[in-house]
A and B are shown apart, each in its own frame.
Chain A
């Protein structure tokens, strides 16, 4: 899974 580092920002 790519989004493991929590890149939830823009």
Chain B
């Protein structure tokens, strides 16, 4: 999914989007 979630906090805008699997370290 490419859906991005936008969170506003204390005047700052955080944009949350999924991290591609390739960027995650093996657990």
Tell whether A and B belong to one assembly.
no
Binding site for A on B (CB under 8 A): none
